[in-house]
Amino acid sequence: MIVAGVDVGSRTTSALILGDSEILSHSVIPTGAESVKTARKGMKEALRGANMSLDDINYIVATGYGRVLVPFAHEIATEIWCHARGANLYFPAVRTVLDMGGQDCKAIRVDANGNHTNFAMNDKCAAGTGRFLEVMAETLGLPVDDIGELSLQSKNEARISSMCTVFARSEVNRLVRRGIDKKDILAGLHEAISTRVYGLLRKVGVEEDFVISGGIAMNIGVVRKIEEKVGLKALIPEEPQIVGALGAALIARERAKGFETPGKARLP
Amino acid sequence: MTFAGIDVGARSVKLVILRDGEILFAKAVATEEEGAVASQRLIEEGLRETNLSFAELLHIVSTGEGRATVSFANTQRSEQLCHARGARWLFPSARTVLDVGFEGSRAMKLNEEGRVTDFALNSKCAAGSGAFLEAMTHIVEMPLEEMGMMAATAKRRAKISSYCAVFAESEVISNIHRGVSKERIVAGIHESVVDRLVEILRRVGIVEDVVITGGVAKNIGVIKALERNLGLEVKAPGDPQVVGALGAALIAQDLRKR
């Protein structure tokens, strides 16, 4: 049976095709202004990778912030549920997942079966999200993909006192004007963001194995800072941005009973 | 008898010099300088303009986020106390004072005698602050005052549902892309600021008269939206930005009398 998961996030959309025993293909694209178009495009890209068409898929589950806008999905599932499932497939011993996305951040406790038992979430405020880092990278005139490595070279970490993205942006501007090294500013920013997400983690409690997923998991500077605070090594999935879509596909497989004929039962 | 109050905020420094219970000098200067430098420069200007010598200032009180950087101040006092004192002097009937600055807002509840009995503040988050409005001016490409005027007269409002200033920025951008009129967007922005301010006000309780102070009180759009939300009149001083410094100068005078 072939199933698929689509995760329409606020900044990034990923789609994944799952066969009986392996991931057949996946796509990761930026979420555009129109979520419906983005969802179709992401799915099309994943299908192309697996050399398939939509009619070959038995069941599709959508998740993420734009999940209700995926017209070709049979069902929707919460992000919490999908991230717990996805992380469990990557790391069966996972008990805590920190998913750091473009505009939100979730700390999720997971049991041995990959079911979530508790979670805490911030989606009201950009502090502790990818958006915070994007704004800061832009303010410093650096590519967001480079800031993790750069921050590790800091010798004299700057102190950033604001958690608020808008205030921190002014603070960064002031530090730049004072001639503070950008690497030191970055280290300070990573300290600020990790303090924020640590607050979220403490709400649910952290137990090993500890997994970080989402786009920020690719920022080694943030990961190191969180590890320091938590006192545990973080496991990072090979492709941290597809954990939600993978979980959605796993849920699709569980729910596909009665949909053995591919494509036929697709909702309008 | 001459006294001075100096208010070192996140974006501006304000000075008031009082003589025999009257305002002799009042000025707000926008600055990116360190508090120590900016406050020194401003006090020198104030003394020059009033032909006073430093020794004639019997007592100086500093307030604001950067109050500790004012080396020549005799005493430091919190923004809550200073804004309440200044607002009450301007409006003796004031019972609720809302100070909205660049990086923070605070609501003070005053008893009949004018003593601060409760206060609530937000200094951690840009939602409902001057910084939020300023960030929006770049996005709607309109000066702050013009934005305020447009909001005050707008017939309809776009709904800005994000709490966070940064998320609201994206929301405004997507509204612009969707072709929503600037008038509606700008009105929505002010509505959002006011929603946050009302949350702070409700934490202390709202008793009339309500006075608004701080730099954001220069924005007519905020005042109109606040009045509509609360369903009552909100009083704003002619120069709301110097109310903290005024209160500091009045406290300097009180301290000397005691």
CATH code assigned at A27: 3.30.420.40
Whether A24 and A98 map to the same domain: the answer is no
Query: Tell me, what's the pLDDT at B258?
Result: 66
Check whether residue B120 and residue B84 sit in a common domain: no
Whether residue A127 sits in one domain with residue A42: no
Same domain? For A20 and A123 the reply is: no
Mean pLDDT (chain B, rounded): 93
**Chain B residues with CB-CB distance to A33 below 8 A:** 174, 177
Q: What's the length of chain B? A: 258
Do A104 and A198 lie in one domain? The reply is yes
| Alpha-carbon distances, residue B254 vs A242, B5, B74, B109, B247 (angstroms) | 65, 12, 13, 20, 10
Q: Does residue B210 share a domain with residue B172?
A: yes
Those residues with Cβ within 8 angstroms of residue A254's Cβ, 6 or more apart along the chain or in another chain: none
For A260, the token pair is: 């053995």
Q: Are residues A52 and A131 in the same domain?
A: no
Of B205, B214, B204, whose CA–CA distance to B83 is shortest? B214
CB contact, 8 Å: A121 with chain B? Answer: no
Give the confidence band of A170 by pLDDT, cuts at 50, 70, 90: confident
Query: Half-sphere exposure of residue A28, counting CA atoms within 13 Å on the CB side?
Result: 11
Rounded to whole angstroms, how far apart are CA atoms A219 and A133?
A: 10
Whether B169 and B229 share a structural domain? yes
Residues A70 and A59 in one domain: yes
pLDDT in tens, B35-92: 899 999 999 999 999 999 999 999 999 999 899 999 999 999 999 999 999 999 999 9
Q: pLDDT tens digits for A205-253?
A: 999 999 999 999 999 999 999 999 999 999 999 999 999 999 999 999 9
- Is the pLDDT score of A267 beyond 90? no
B251 touches chain A (CB under 8 A): no
Looking at chain A, the whole-number percentage of residues with pLDDT higher than 90 is 83
> Which range marks the domain in which residue A107 is found?
92-236
Instruction: Count chain A–chain B contacts defined by CB atoms under 8 A.
Output: 43
Range of the domain at B2: 1-91+239-258
* Rg of chain B over all Cα atoms, to the nearest angstrom: 19
State pLDDT tens for residues A120-141.
999 889 998 999 999 999 999 9
Confidence of residue B170 (pLDDT cuts 50, 70, 90): confident
Q: Which residue of B has its CA nearest to A165?
A: B166
A-chain CB neighbours of B164 within 8 Å are 124-126, 165
Query: Contact B164/A124 with Cβ under 8 angstroms?
Result: yes
Predicted confidence at residue A32, as pLDDT, reads 83
Which tokens go with A163?
A: 């958690």
How close A17 comes to chain B (CA, Å)?
31
What pLDDT score was predicted for residue A268? 40
Count of domains in chain A? 2
- Chain A residues whose CB is inside 8 A of the B177 CB are 33
Please check whether residues A73 and A98 belong to one and the same domain: no
**Confidence (pTM):** 0.82
Indicate if B183 and B165 belong to the same structural domain: yes
- Contact status of A93 with chain B (Cβ, < 8 Å): no
Are the beta carbons of A174 and B32 separated by less than 8 Å?
A: yes
Is residue A103 within 8 angstroms of chain B, CB to CB?
yes
Q: Are residues B103 and B77 in the same domain?
A: no
B126/A166 touch (CB, cutoff 8 Å), yes or no? yes
Cβ atoms of residues B60 and B250 within 8 Å: no
The predicted pLDDT at position B47 comes to: 94
| pLDDT of amino acid A246 | 97
CB A169 within 8 A of CB A138: no
- Mutant choice from A11, A123, A125 vs B, greatest count of B C-beta within 10 A: A125
Q: Is the domain of B31 the same as that of B140? A: no
Distance CA A151, CA B116 (A): 45
* Residue in A with minimal Cα distance to B133: A166
Nearest-Cα distance to chain B for A33, in Å, is 8
**Cβ separation of B126 and A174 shorter than 8 Å?**
no
pLDDT at A112 > cutoff 90: yes
Shared domain for A172 and A244, answered yes or no, is no
Residues A26 and A118 in one domain: no
Q: Do B82 and B115 share a domain, yes or no? A: no
> How many domains is chain B partitioned into structurally?
2
Which residue pairs, CB below 8 angstroms and at least 24 apart, start in A36-39? Answer: A36/A69, A36/A70, A36/A71, A38/A8, A38/A13, A38/A66, A39/A6, A39/A8, A39/A13, A39/A15, A39/A66, A39/A69, A39/A70, A39/A71, A39/A72
- Contact call for A165 and B103, based on CB within 8 A: no
Q: How far apart are CA A86 and CA A251, in angstroms?
A: 9
What residues in B contact A162, CB-CB < 8 Å?
124
Kindly state whether residues B96 and B215 are assigned to the same domain: yes
A30 touches chain B (CB under 8 A): no
> How far does the CA of residue B159 sit from the closest CA of chain A (Å)?
16
* B37 touching A (Cβ < 8 Å): no
Confidence of residue B236 (pLDDT cuts 50, 70, 90): very high
ipTM value, please give it. 0.77
- Whether residues B55 and B103 fall in one domain: no
Are residues B243 and B142 part of one domain? no
Neighbour count for residue B249 (Cβ, 10 Å): 35
Contact A162 B167 (CB under 8 A): no
Residue A265 contacts B, CB cutoff 8 Å: no
Residue in A126, A170, A177 closest to B166 by CB: A126
Closest to B206 measured CA to CA, from B229, B188, B238: B229
Classify each residue of A176-189 as buried b or exposed e, where b means 16 or more C-beta atoms within 10 Å of its C-beta. eeeeebbbbbbbbb
Count of alpha carbons within 13 angstroms of residue A58, beta-carbon side:
19
CA–CA min distance B135, chain A (Å): 8
- The CATH number of residue B60's host domain is 3.30.420.40
Helix (H), strand (E), coil (C) string for chain A: CCEEEEEECCCEEEEEEECCCCEEEEEEEECCCCHHHHHHHHHHHHHHHHCCCHHHCCEEEEECCCHHHCCCCCEECCHHHHHHHHHHHHCCCCCEEEEECCCCEEEEEECCCCCEEEEEEECCCCCCCHHHHHHHHHHHCCCCCCHHHHHHCCCCCCCCCCCCHHHHHHHHHHHHHCCCCHHHHHHHHHHHHHHHHHHHHHHHCCCCCEEEECHHHHCHHHHHHHHHHHCCCEECCCCHHHHHHHHHHHHHHHHCCCCCCCCCCCCC
